[in-house]
Structure 1
Amino acid sequence: MARVALDLLGGDGAPGVVADAVAALDLDALDIDLVLVGPTNLAIELLAARGIDISERPRLTILSAASGVPMDGDPLAYVRAHPESSVMVAAAAVSAGQVDAWVSVGHSGASVAAAVLSCGRVDGMSRPALAVVLPSTQSPVVLVDVGASPEATANVLAQFAMAGWCYATALGIADPAVGLLNIGSETGKGDSLRLAAHILMQDRLPALGVRYAGSVEGHDVASGARAQVIVTDGFTGNVLLKGIEGAVRWAAQQMALAYGDPRPARAVVAGTATGDFAAGMLLGVNGITVIGHGAGRPNEIAACIRLAARAAKTDLIGLTQRTFSTLLERIK
């Protein structure tokens, strides 16, 4: 069983689209206790409009929160000044042990800030990283970081590598290899950051039993052959991810035009918006935090909830903490 808090007020279509996601879930079949975080009366009204009487749903409860987070302004300053906001209440519930994980499809910067402030960072992680799982021809690929930390040092990239390896392992990817995203796979390629990070990863990862594939290129993200965890700074990762999203949309449009039938293209796009591919997992904080796309539809939000529950059941946080404890002992 996993207990998951869901931000009712986050997302472009909130709160209605979030309530739609809740209505679509079979909590008993998933073995999830879901806590909806937002104004109590609003939550009750939204659920009732969808035929849900919360008094008859023991696995569905409400945790009161006063407000969401506006998209403009400084997210860190806002959540610090508003502990009653939905993201802070949800993250605090994880920190207090009331729930095992939390999900938001709202302001990603506010979600990162709330998680760090409430849950704290894993010992050995200087900065958080946002990881996404991408489909590929051979194996799912964990891409980390895609935006939580736009700037990174070589040491931070080495930390991201270990955190990404823990996530891939928790997802059931067998013996994942780690690769460093670069402009070429040959020795000596890359800028000073990539060269320094390569040296650190080459030294640290094998000592911890982690396969290191060296430098990989952008096309390796789509193949999954050389590495199943691909590491980069948040700026580069975010640019790459959005480029992939645009390419998928373009390919889907061309497929629909070529075959005169949009259904196959829709199936391909839908396949990247469910399951493990639905959202970002915030790595390096002491609490499972899933951040979904702001424009997420009900099925995508439901997939975020399932992903959060899966990470809780596979003890992602415990695995990460143990791995970094071993790492810190080795580099003393």
Structure 2
Amino acid sequence: MPGFSDVLGHEQTIAHMKSAIEANKVSHAYLLAGEKGSGKKMLAGIFARTLQCEAHGSEPCGKCHSCIQAESGNQPDIIYVTHEKPGSISVDDIRGQVNGDIQIKPYSSPYKIYIIDEAEKLTQQAQNALLKTIEEPPAYAIIMLLTANEGMLLPTIKSRCVTLTMKPVPLPLIRQYLMEELQIPDYRADICAAFSQGNVGKAKRLALSDSFGEMLEHALHMVKYISEMEPSDLVEDLKKINTYKMDIQDYLDLLTVWYRDVLMFKATCDANNLVFSNELNSIRDKAKDSSYEGLECIIKALEKAKVRLNANVNFDMAMELLLLTMKEN
């Protein structure tokens, strides 16, 4: 069972939680904000287990009855709110699992803790129903909202919560974790750490993904040889890119970091800060053949492609425009 000491980074959030536990000044409502994979659910779980732990320390002991129950997912006073509809958490979900249950005292613990993951999916009706409970909760109740988009929550809810924002984890820490804990080779660990942008969950997912390795190989082929490709080659590559449709943001990030490496090397001739350090010869050649304006044009086109795809523009059209810009520049 992981404790606070097993968490990578997030020192400020952990310090706040530990301080609240030790001073016995735990809030009735918390908002943990951070992107998917940033560790919100892990930290919320550790905080809940520590609060319910019979050893009353600043870490869950892992041995008491409550910790053993929590480890198996059967701690009756730690409630993870679920929802049937994947895209929304309805007012019935909140009324049934929170409002209709919260007046019942804890079964065996000092607190009754409700953890609502993906809180950005709460409908406005659900948020209004939850607001009444947050405003006047029983003394033993703690509600934890976990969200990747706090802008979707009502200001009245946010104002009544202690907000803890998940900060990016330093890349050297992530790299070390991938190499030592997951036995990832150093070059791949460098790339996955860089692409994670401080998100440990994302770094782990990429490092353990077979499809990411294939996608990386294709992206490198594209950036190295696109200037020599014929229109028929581009059509074939577009078909291949279609197979990465579900992970297209990762694919575009790979291209972006490559071109930033080229731009950085062109400006400094310093290979020490390159993400794709194993590709130095190709980066040097591309930097020599490309202009600053052309590289900046490609990087802007990559950002524009992301925006277009997020706005549900036709996938093939967005990618065709991007590939043509990459080829021309």
Q: Same fold (TM over 0.5)?
A: no
The structure in which a higher percent of residues are helix is: 2
User: Between Structure 1 and Structure 2, whose CA radius of gyration is higher?
Assistant: 2
Report the TM range for the smaller structure's normalisation: under 0.3
Structure that is richer in strand per residue: 1
TM-score, normalised via structure 2 length: 0.23
Structure with the greater relative contact order (CA < 8 A, sep ≥ 6): 1 or 2?
1
Query: TM-score, normalised on structure 1?
Result: 0.23
